[in-house]
Every structure is written in C-alpha cells, then in structure tokens.
C-alpha cells in the first residue's frame, strides 16, 4: 500500500488550483460550453491520451480522453463543465467569472459545481498518464456539457455512443459532483407531473350561485399534498413532494374554470411513479368526498425531446468494487473512513449510467453555494479528491506483475 500512498502524494495542489482557476475564468453557462471544452482538451493532449471532441451537434461538444494500457477493465471519470447562469450579478461579492481566493475558498461560478472537481480529475489523469506501470486497462475522462439541462447533448449522448459500440462500455464510473468528500452510491428518483383542476366559470357576482372555483380546489389540493414525507431510506434519505408551479384564472371578474399545478416528486428506493401517483390520488379522492364539484385529472409531462419526466431512484450496491475502492482510497489519503452521503441530493448524470446497468459512485469536493451567488469550493478538498481518484484507480486497475515463470 505504500506505493499507492506514494502515487497519491504526487498530486500537486498548486496544479489542481491552477486548473480550477483556468476553468472558472472561462464562462460555460449551459448551451455555451465550447471554449471550456477546448481549454480542457488542450490540457489533456500533452498527457498522451487520445482526446476526442464528441458532439451530437457541433455547438454542444464533450471531451473524452482515453488512456489505454493493455487489456483490462475500463474506469471512467465523469464531470460536467457547464454551469447554470450567474443570476443577479449584484448578489455576487466578486465577478462570477473571475476566480477569487479568500483563505481556503475559491469563489466563482462553477467552482463547486463542478469545475474544481473537473480540475482535480484532470490532474489525476495527468498523473496516471505519466505512470502506466501502476495500472492496466483503460482510464477515461469524460467532460460533458448539458448536465444542468437535460443531459441530451452530454452524458446521454456518450451513453448512446457506448450502446452503438463507438465507445467502450465502462466497467465502473466515478462521478465528481460535489459530495463534501463523502461517498454517494445512490440517488433519489425524480418524477414531474401536473394536476388539472376543473371548475365552472361564472360572473363573480354569481360565484356563490353557480360557480365552482378551480383555483380554490387547487389550493386545497396544494395544502393537502405539500407536506413532509417521513418514510426514510438509509441510502437516499427522505422523499420529497413540492408543488412548484400554479397556473389558473383568466379575467378579474370571472370565476376560473381551470387551474393546473406542477408537482416535483423525489422518490426514494422502493418508490416508483405508480406508487407516487397512487398516494396523490388517495389524498385527492379524500378531498373529493368532502367537497362537492371537486374534479381533477393527472397530466403527463414530457421534456422537449419527448421523454417522460421520470427517472427512477437508483443505486450501486455498497459492496461493489468501485464503491469499495473509493472508500478505501479516501481512507488511505485522509486516514479516516469516509462518511456516506445520504440526504438531500438532486439528480446527477450518475443515474444515466446506473440506468444502463453500469456501477457508478459519486465522490467530490466540499464547498457551498452551487446554483447561487458567491459559490465557492474548499481548495484543500480538491487535493484530497485528486489523491483519492489516483489511489482508487490504482486499486481498481492494479497492474499484474509478470510471474517468475514468464506468464503475464
């Protein structure tokens, strides 16, 4: 294990910081990722990796770097270089596109989500490329676009290339979304749908005579549905139901005949869209019994590519080789076993690999303010992440020493 420790120690914190600063200083708001991809490709080319720009359409590129060293498993590191927009610039204490360091914190848009992490993985690949004696098989770094939107041009596209045989099928994937250096082996699912409430229009003056106000019924439904769900799963935490949109009403003096609410439901392992809808119907059917004229229907929601807005909860077993390797690597690097990351995480590209049957684990840096003003990453956590990536790779792809009798 001391060799492993030696390799992990070769990670250069100054290099990780330099790469983080470089990526943060290149704006890459989702939809405009090209310049950041070109910068990442320029870092990867000197390592000797085969660097490809892979794109469904030219203006939405991804960078895939492949290091190949004989037959063996394929370990993929995956991170996204796109960010959400900076929001109101007045709320930022420094320019969101100018990395600004205060103490151990590096501020900037995407510093945490997830350019710092991409920099840590880039440097891990630089180091592993220089030491092919330490591993066998293939190491791949995927830097993708479009994670903050649908993933259609990013990880989804790369998985289609795997399905088509144009990229090797990953044996394991390590995703670098920020996780406070904790290990996340599972994600909640997400299910978005709408409920339409139907009333009966009339003049406000006769509202109490023959009107049925759809906004009133929708409001009763919102109050009944929007509550804490207390079931708990030890690998993904609590489910969530949140009513995030409401639309209804047309005219100031007309009782509304229609109101539509949009529901975002996060599902824990053991739940699916059928069980979630059954639960909603039970609540609404109870209201219908109490309120004459209460009528609703559930509407399906699809994204702009026609996909259902549903992704089931997903997990990689905690005893999978990649989960165990990341845990062991973190322990070697920090001297302590990592914690599990369980509560309140959103959906990442990691789920797309699990839906494809590929074992995937998330492990990334610490910081705060993702998708908000004054986002920052804790710089020392990036060094730990890079070291853990190096050590986990060697654990998973350890080279087979030739045996004495000449066999390989």
Which lies closer to Zn ion via its Cβ, residue 178 or residue 193?
178
How far apart are alpha carbons 177 and 190 in whole angstroms? Answer: 18
Residue 24 binding Zn ion, by CB under 5 A: no
- CA torsion angle 163 168 172 175 (round to 10): -80
In the complex with Zn ion, which residue's Cβ is closer, 122 or 332? 122
Least gap, CB of 382 to Zn ion (angstroms): 15
Point out the catalytic residue in the list 113, 138, 146, 147. Answer: 147
SS (H, E, C) 302-342: ECCCCCECEECCEECCCCCHHHHHHHHHHHHHHCCCCCECC
The tokens of 195 are what?
Answer: 């409920």
| Beta carbons within 10 angstroms of residue 104's beta carbon | 13
Both tokens of 125, joined, read: 């690949």
CB of 196 to Zn ion, least distance (A): 33
To the query of whether residue 147 is one of the catalytic residues in this protein, the response is yes
Largest CA distance in the chain: 98
Please identify, using beta-carbon distances, which residue of 114 and 333 lies nearer to Zn ion.
114
Residue 115 or 217 with smaller CB distance to Zn ion: 115
CA-to-CA separations, 171 to 79, 158, 191, 248, 313, in angstroms, rounded = 17, 15, 28, 49, 21
Compute how many residues bind Zn ion; rule: CB under 5 A: 3
Nearer to Zn ion, 199 or 364 (CB): 364
Q: Residue 144 Cβ, how far from Zn ion at the closest point, in Å?
A: 10
Element at 212 (helix H, strand E): none
In the set 33, 82, 126, 359, the catalytic residue is: 82
Stretch that binds Zn ion, among 105-113, 245-253, 330-338, 394-402 (CB under 5 A): 105-113
The least distance separating Zn ion from the CB of residue 372, rounded to whole angstroms, comes to: 13
User: Which residue stretch of 67-75, 103-111, 175-183, 237-245 sits at the interface with Zn ion (rule: CB under 5 A)?
Assistant: 175-183
Q: Which is nearer to Zn ion, 116 or 338 (CB)?
A: 116
Least Å distance, CB 324 to Zn ion, is: 24
Handedness of CA 85, 181, 49, 15 (dihedral sign): positive
CB 144 within 8 A of CB 114: no
Residues 111-150 that bind Zn ion (CB under 5 A): 113-114
Element (H, E) at 65: strand 61-69
User: Min. distance of Cβ 268 from Zn ion in angstroms?
Assistant: 21
278 is catalytic: no
Instruction: Point out the residue whose Cβ comes nearest to Zn ion.
Output: 113
What is the CA angle 47-66-396, rounded to 5?
100
Phi, psi of 315 (to 5 degrees): -150, 150
Binding site for Zn ion (CB under 5 A): 113-114, 177
Show which residues are catalytic: 82, 147
């Amino acid at each position: 294990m001391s060799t492993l420790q030696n390799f992990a120690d070769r990670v250069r914190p100054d290099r990780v910081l330099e790469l983080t600063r470089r990526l943060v200083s290149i704006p890459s708001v989702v939809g405009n990722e090209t310049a950041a991809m070109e910068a990442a490709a320029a870092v990867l080319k000197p390592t000797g990796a085969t660097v490809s720009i892979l794109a469904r359409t030219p203006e939405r590129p991804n960078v895939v770097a492949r290091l190949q060293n004989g037959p063996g498993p394929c370990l993929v590191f995956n991170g996204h270089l796109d960010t959400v927009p900076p929001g109101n610039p007045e709320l930022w204490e420094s320019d969101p596109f100018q990395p600004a360091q205060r103490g151990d914190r590096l501020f900037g848009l995407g510093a945490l989500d997830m350019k710092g992490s991409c920099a840590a993985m880039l440097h891990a690949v630089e180091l592993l490329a220089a030491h092919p004696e330490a591993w066998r098989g293939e190491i791949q770094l995927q830097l993708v676009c479009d994670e903050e939107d649908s993933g259609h041009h990013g990880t989804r596209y790369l998985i289609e290339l795997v399905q088509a045989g144009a990229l090797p099928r990953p044996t394991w994937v390590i995703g670098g979304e920020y996780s406070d250096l904790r290990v996340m082996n599972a994600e909640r699912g997400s299910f978005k749908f709408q409920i339409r409430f139907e009333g009966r229009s009339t003049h406000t003056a006769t509202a109490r005579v023959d009107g049925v106000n759809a906004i009133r019924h929708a409001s009763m439904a919102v109050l009944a549905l929007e509550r804490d769900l207390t079931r708990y799963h030890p690998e993904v935490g609590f489910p969530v139901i949140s009513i995030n949109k409401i639309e209804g009403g047309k005219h100031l003096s007309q009782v509304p005949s229609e109101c539509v609410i949009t529901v975002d439901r996060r599902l824990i392992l053991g739940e699916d869209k059928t069980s979630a809808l059954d639960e909603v119907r039970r609540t609404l059917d109870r209201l219908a019994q109490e309120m004459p004229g209460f009528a609703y229907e559930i509407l399906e929601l699809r994204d702009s590519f026609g996909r259902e807005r549903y992704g089931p909860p997903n997990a990689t077993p905690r005893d999978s080789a990649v989960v165990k390797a990341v845990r062991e690597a973190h322990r070697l690097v920090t001297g302590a076993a990592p914690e599990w990351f369980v509560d309140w995480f959103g959906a990442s590209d990691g789920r797309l690999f699990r839906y494809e049957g590929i074992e995937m684990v998330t492990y990334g840096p610490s910081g705060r303010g993702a998708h908000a003003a004054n986002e920052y990453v804790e710089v020392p956590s990036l060094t730990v992440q890079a070291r853990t990536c190096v050590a986990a790779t060697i654990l998973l792809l350890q080279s087979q020493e030739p045996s004495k009798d000449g066999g390989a």
